[in-house]
Protein backbone atom coordinates (compact mmCIF):
# COMPACT_ATOMS: atom_id res chain seq x y z
CA UNK A 1 0.00 0.00 0.00
CA UNK A 2 1.54 3.30 -1.05
CA UNK A 3 1.36 6.62 0.72
CA UNK A 4 -0.13 8.18 -2.38
CA UNK A 5 -3.69 6.97 -1.99
CA UNK A 6 -3.57 5.07 1.27
CA UNK A 7 -5.88 2.36 -0.10
CA UNK A 8 -8.95 4.63 0.01
CA UNK A 9 -10.64 6.11 -3.03
CA UNK A 10 -9.56 9.75 -3.51
CA UNK A 11 -13.16 10.95 -3.82
CA UNK A 12 -14.11 9.38 -0.46
CA UNK A 13 -11.06 10.86 1.23
CA UNK A 14 -11.73 14.28 -0.26
CA UNK A 15 -15.41 14.23 0.66
CA UNK A 16 -14.67 13.12 4.22
CA UNK A 17 -12.04 15.86 4.55
CA UNK A 18 -14.64 18.51 3.68
CA UNK A 19 -16.51 17.59 6.87
CA UNK A 20 -13.75 16.31 9.15
CA UNK A 21 -11.58 19.46 8.94
CA UNK A 22 -14.32 21.90 9.99
CA UNK A 23 -15.64 19.40 12.55
CA UNK A 24 -12.21 19.21 14.20
CA UNK A 25 -11.97 23.00 14.13
CA UNK A 26 -15.37 23.35 15.79
CA UNK A 27 -14.73 20.60 18.35
CA UNK A 28 -11.29 21.98 19.22
CA UNK A 29 -12.74 25.48 19.64
CA UNK A 30 -15.58 24.31 21.86
CA UNK A 31 -13.32 22.13 24.01
CA UNK A 32 -10.74 24.92 24.22
CA UNK A 33 -13.33 27.47 25.35
CA UNK A 34 -15.25 25.09 27.62
CA UNK A 35 -12.79 22.49 28.93
CA UNK A 36 -15.27 21.58 31.66
CA UNK A 37 -17.15 19.56 29.03
CA UNK A 38 -14.28 17.07 28.97
CA UNK A 39 -13.36 17.68 32.61
CA UNK A 40 -16.63 16.06 33.67
CA UNK A 41 -15.71 12.88 31.79
CA UNK A 42 -11.98 12.74 32.46
CA UNK A 43 -10.60 14.04 35.76
CA UNK A 44 -7.65 16.06 34.44
CA UNK A 45 -6.63 19.69 34.74
CA UNK A 46 -8.13 22.35 32.49
CA UNK A 47 -4.75 23.25 31.01
CA UNK A 48 -4.13 19.62 30.06
CA UNK A 49 -7.52 19.41 28.37
CA UNK A 50 -6.80 22.55 26.40
CA UNK A 51 -3.22 21.60 25.57
CA UNK A 52 -3.53 17.86 24.96
CA UNK A 53 -7.00 17.66 23.43
CA UNK A 54 -8.16 21.01 22.02
CA UNK A 55 -4.84 22.33 20.67
CA UNK A 56 -3.98 19.23 18.60
CA UNK A 57 -7.48 19.27 17.14
CA UNK A 58 -7.04 22.90 16.11
CA UNK A 59 -3.59 22.28 14.65
CA UNK A 60 -4.66 19.22 12.64
CA UNK A 61 -7.97 20.64 11.34
CA UNK A 62 -6.49 22.54 8.37
CA UNK A 63 -4.26 19.58 7.52
CA UNK A 64 -7.27 17.27 7.41
CA UNK A 65 -9.19 19.81 5.32
CA UNK A 66 -6.27 19.96 2.87
CA UNK A 67 -7.01 16.34 1.93
CA UNK A 68 -10.05 17.64 0.02
CA UNK A 69 -7.63 18.54 -2.76
CA UNK A 70 -6.79 14.87 -3.40
CA UNK A 71 -9.77 14.72 -5.75
CA UNK A 72 -9.86 17.44 -8.45
CA UNK A 73 -13.67 17.46 -8.39
CA UNK A 74 -13.72 18.23 -4.66
CA UNK A 75 -10.76 20.63 -4.61
CA UNK A 76 -12.91 23.67 -5.44
CA UNK A 77 -15.27 22.83 -2.56
CA UNK A 78 -12.26 22.42 -0.31
CA UNK A 79 -11.06 25.90 -1.22
CA UNK A 80 -14.49 27.34 -0.40
CA UNK A 81 -14.66 25.48 2.90
CA UNK A 82 -11.20 26.79 3.81
CA UNK A 83 -12.31 30.35 3.04
CA UNK A 84 -15.53 29.96 5.02
CA UNK A 85 -13.63 28.49 7.98
CA UNK A 86 -11.12 31.36 7.86
CA UNK A 87 -13.92 33.93 7.82
CA UNK A 88 -15.64 32.14 10.71
CA UNK A 89 -12.37 32.16 12.66
CA UNK A 90 -11.92 35.89 12.07
CA UNK A 91 -15.47 36.70 13.19
CA UNK A 92 -15.16 34.34 16.14
CA UNK A 93 -11.99 36.05 17.36
CA UNK A 94 -13.47 39.52 16.85
CA UNK A 95 -16.61 38.50 18.78
CA UNK A 96 -14.61 36.87 21.57
CA UNK A 97 -12.44 39.97 21.98
CA UNK A 98 -15.50 42.26 22.02
CA UNK A 99 -17.21 40.10 24.64
CA UNK A 100 -14.23 39.40 26.91
CA UNK A 101 -11.68 42.19 26.76
CA UNK A 102 -12.14 44.83 29.44
CA UNK A 103 -8.94 46.79 28.90
CA UNK A 104 -6.80 47.62 25.88
CA UNK A 105 -3.40 48.93 26.80
CA UNK A 106 -3.96 50.99 29.92
CA UNK A 107 -7.43 52.19 28.99
CA UNK A 108 -10.64 50.48 30.13
CA UNK A 109 -13.04 49.40 27.38
CA UNK A 110 -16.34 51.25 27.75
CA UNK A 111 -17.83 50.14 24.43
CA UNK A 112 -17.21 46.85 22.59
CA UNK A 113 -16.54 48.83 19.38
CA UNK A 114 -13.28 49.96 20.99
CA UNK A 115 -12.02 46.38 20.71
CA UNK A 116 -12.62 46.24 16.95
CA UNK A 117 -9.11 47.26 15.76
CA UNK A 118 -7.38 44.78 18.07
CA UNK A 119 -9.92 42.06 17.29
CA UNK A 120 -9.55 42.62 13.55
CA UNK A 121 -5.78 42.25 13.68
CA UNK A 122 -5.83 39.17 15.89
CA UNK A 123 -8.69 37.63 13.89
CA UNK A 124 -6.89 38.26 10.60
CA UNK A 125 -3.74 36.55 11.89
CA UNK A 126 -5.71 33.52 13.10
CA UNK A 127 -7.78 33.29 9.89
CA UNK A 128 -4.76 33.65 7.61
CA UNK A 129 -2.94 30.97 9.59
CA UNK A 130 -5.75 28.45 9.14
CA UNK A 131 -6.13 29.22 5.45
CA UNK A 132 -2.38 29.02 4.75
CA UNK A 133 -2.11 25.72 6.64
CA UNK A 134 -4.91 24.23 4.54
CA UNK A 135 -3.32 25.51 1.34
CA UNK A 136 0.12 24.19 2.32
CA UNK A 137 -1.26 20.69 2.63
CA UNK A 138 -3.33 21.01 -0.53
CA UNK A 139 -0.25 21.10 -2.76
CA UNK A 140 0.78 17.65 -1.58
CA UNK A 141 -2.78 16.32 -1.60
CA UNK A 142 -3.13 17.27 -5.29
CA UNK A 143 -0.09 15.11 -5.98
CA UNK A 144 -1.68 12.24 -4.04
CA UNK A 145 0.85 12.42 -1.19
CA UNK A 146 -1.53 12.25 1.76
CA UNK A 147 1.04 11.87 4.53
CA UNK A 148 3.05 14.79 3.18
CA UNK A 149 -0.16 16.84 2.99
CA UNK A 150 -0.92 16.12 6.64
CA UNK A 151 2.63 16.94 7.72
CA UNK A 152 2.73 20.17 5.68
CA UNK A 153 -0.69 21.31 6.88
CA UNK A 154 0.05 20.53 10.52
CA UNK A 155 3.52 22.09 10.26
CA UNK A 156 2.14 25.33 8.90
CA UNK A 157 -0.60 25.06 11.53
CA UNK A 158 2.07 25.03 14.25
CA UNK A 159 3.73 28.09 12.67
CA UNK A 160 0.34 29.78 12.45
CA UNK A 161 -0.26 29.04 16.12
CA UNK A 162 3.09 30.65 16.96
CA UNK A 163 2.12 33.71 14.91
CA UNK A 164 -1.23 33.82 16.70
CA UNK A 165 0.40 33.69 20.13
CA UNK A 166 2.88 36.38 19.04
CA UNK A 167 0.03 38.59 17.83
CA UNK A 168 -1.76 38.11 21.15
CA UNK A 169 1.33 39.08 23.13
CA UNK A 170 1.91 42.16 20.97
CA UNK A 171 -1.73 43.25 21.03
CA UNK A 172 -2.29 42.59 24.73
CA UNK A 173 1.03 43.25 26.48
CA UNK A 174 0.57 42.21 30.11
CA UNK A 175 3.07 44.64 31.57
CA UNK A 176 2.36 47.71 29.43
CA UNK A 177 0.74 49.75 32.20
CA UNK A 178 2.88 51.22 34.94
CA UNK A 179 2.17 49.83 38.39
CA UNK A 180 0.61 52.30 40.84
CA UNK A 181 3.10 53.89 43.21
CA UNK A 182 3.58 52.17 46.50
CA UNK A 183 3.12 48.65 45.11
CA UNK A 184 6.68 48.18 43.95
Residue 176 lies in a domain: no
Residue 77: inside a domain, yes or no? yes
- In a domain, residue 178? The reply is no
pLDDT for 132:
97
What's the longest Cα–Cα distance across the chain?
70
The per-residue pLDDT for 2 is: 41
Question: Of all helices (H) and strands (E), which one includes residue 23?
Answer: helix 10-33
Within-domain flag for 3: no
**What single string gives the DSSP state of each residue in 53-72?**
IIHHHHHHHHHHHHGGGGSH
* 56 vs 184: CA distance, rounded Å: 40
pTM for the whole thing? 0.85
Burial class (CB in 10 A: 0-12, 13-18, 19+), 74: buried
What is the total count of domains within the chain? 1
Cβ(92)–Cβ(63) below 8 Å: no
Determine, yes or no, domain membership for 155: yes
Structural domain includes residue 125: yes
In the prediction, which pLDDT does 140 show?
95
Residue 155's Cα: distance from chain center in Å? 13
Kindly list the averaged pLDDT for each block of 10 residues, start to end, along the chain of length 184.
52 92 95 88 86 93 95 92 97 93 83 92 96 95 94 96 93 67 52
Q: Where are the alpha helices (DSSP H) in 34-115?
A: 36-39, 46-49, 55-66, 72-100
Calculate the alpha carbon distances from 88 to 17, 26, 44, 92, 111 in Å.
18, 10, 30, 6, 23
Domain membership of residue 71 (yes or no) is: yes
d(CA 112, CA 7): 51
Residue 2 lies in a domain: no
| Residue 136 to residue 150: CA distance in whole angstroms | 9
The per-residue pLDDT for 177 is 66
Beta-carbon contacts of 131 under 8 Å, excluding residues fewer than 6 positions away, are: 62, 82, 83, 85, 86
What's the domain range around 68?
Answer: 10-171
Amino acid sequence: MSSRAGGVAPSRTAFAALFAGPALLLAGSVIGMEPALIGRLVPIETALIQGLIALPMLLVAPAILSLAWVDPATARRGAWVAVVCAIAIAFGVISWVAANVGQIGCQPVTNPIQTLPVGLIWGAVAAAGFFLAARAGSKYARAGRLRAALVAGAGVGVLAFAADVTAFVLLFPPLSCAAPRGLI
